[in-house]
Amino acid sequence: MIVVVKIGTSSLTDEHGEIALHAIEKLCSEVAALRGLGHRVVVVTSGAIAAGLPPLGLAGARPTDMPTLQAVSAVGQGRLVRVYDDVLARHNLVAGQVLLAPLDFVHRSQYLHARQTLTRLLDLGVVPIVNENDAIADDEIRFGDNDRIAALVAHLVGAQVLVILTDTPGVLTADPRLHADATLIEEIIEVDHELEAVAGGAGTARGSGGMASKLAAAKIAAWSGVRAVIAAADRPGVVVGAVAGDAGVGTVVRPRDRRLPARKLWIAFAVGSSGTIVVDDGAYRALTGRNTSLLPAGVVDVQGDFDAEDAVELADTYGRVFAKGLSSHTAARVKEWAGRRTTDLPVDVPHEIVHRDNLVVLP
Ligand code: GLU
């Protein structure tokens, strides 16, 4: 099996916010155990910012502005990987650093290169150590401490399991910081709005993810046909148990039967949307029921300012977002064409506003 294991800042740092060597040692011995069982393993790790704070004399108080955090990550990333490299070497394993940014999943050639490199690293017996390229991109600092990157990597390498390690036993029925009687949800069939509301809240002072971004990552994994397990980083044997499917190890999010093609996955989850197109009831029914393209006749309103090829959300007349896609035209043109029949449009340009190949209907 190919397994992606993701560990976040809060599980890798001590009470002073500094990298806790024992946490990396525990993770690496589990990676070695998986390798011993014949699995291939990719580690997605945060901690670059945490590792960069002490050498800059900033250990006590994590800065909050992005340029400083990005600079700190540049100091810390090399130090972080050195720790992995040293610890994995004790298990006779070789580490290889790969830094990715969300755009790498959007541009097809970058995506294919990333896939080729990661696959070759696995062929060579290397343990890829992946992080966001924080010095250049800041998405995961803002969004979720590498949760989304980990899910996209799981899709990219064709993993069977994504293990998301965190500082709670998994997804709980309520916030354990507020409700002492919160219990573990052992299996999630579908990540829906209700569940997202229960999981709520952002992360801790040291990490940035929280359960909401873990569920969002598990959802990407599910749509990729990858089983996701959200579990406690400090639980003995957690990774091996999660991969084996042992009961009670954490929260298992079941994969969907159908794996969304890579391109649709990017559209649904990797690309941020730049606007919203509101469609009438007829278009809503055709798009959700018959897998058609969106034509100008069905458009009733356009919000935001987007270019051709930008991602947009599609909403019904009640404002409910039901799909995401790439617009073939600029916001100005969609506005101009809204409600018009095909016979009233110029003949030399394609009429689809969102082509069916560029459209994903969300559950
Ligand atoms: N990729 C970042 C890191 O490795 C994100 C984590 C954070 O925001 O602390 O440090």
Does the pLDDT value for residue 213 go beyond 50? yes
| 208 in contact with ligand 1, CB cutoff 6 A | yes
Same fold, 2-264 and 272-361: no
Confidence of residue 209 (pLDDT cuts 50, 70, 90): low
Average pLDDT, the chain: 91
The number of the ligand 1 atom at minimal distance from the alpha carbon of 69 is: 8
Nearest residue CA, atom 8 of ligand 1? 141
Contact (Cβ atoms closer than 8 angstroms) between residue 168 and residue 176: yes
Query: Where are the domains positioned within the chain?
Result: 2-264, 272-361
| 46 in contact with ligand 1, CB cutoff 6 A | yes
| Predicted pLDDT of residue 87 | 98
Q: 272-361: which CATH number, 1.25.40.340, 2.60.120.10, 2.30.130.10, 3.40.50.360?
A: 2.30.130.10
| 48 in contact with ligand 1, CB cutoff 6 A | yes
Nearest residue CA, atom 6 of ligand 1? 145
| Predicted pLDDT of residue 204 | 42
Nearest residue CA, atom 2 of ligand 1? 46
How much distance in Å is there from the Cα of 146 to the middle of ligand 1? 7
CATH architecture of the domain formed by 2-264: 3-Layer(aba) Sandwich (3.40)
Nearest residue CA, atom 9 of ligand 1? 207
**In this predicted model, what pLDDT tens digit does every residue of 7-34 receive, in sequence order?**
999 999 998 888 999 999 999 999 999 9
| Predicted pLDDT of residue 26 | 98
Confidence of residue 199 (pLDDT cuts 50, 70, 90): low
How much distance in Å is there from the Cα of 207 to the middle of ligand 1? 7
**In this predicted model, what pLDDT tens digit does every residue of 272-290 receive, in sequence order?**
789 999 999 999 999 999 9
Confidence of residue 172 (pLDDT cuts 50, 70, 90): confident
Contact (Cβ atoms closer than 8 angstroms) between residue 58 and residue 35: no
Of 106-110, 271-275, 300-304, 305-309, the one with minimum mean pLDDT is 106-110
How much distance in Å is there from the Cα of 339 to the middle of ligand 1? 46
Alpha-helical regions (H) of the chain: 9-12, 21-36, 48-52, 66-90, 103-106, 108-123, 139-143, 147-156, 193-199, 210-223, 238-244, 262-265, 281-290, 331-337
Strand order in the sheet with 359-361: 299-304, 275-279, 311-315, 321-326, 359-361
| 139 in contact with ligand 1, CB cutoff 6 A | no
| 131 in contact with ligand 1, CB cutoff 6 A | yes
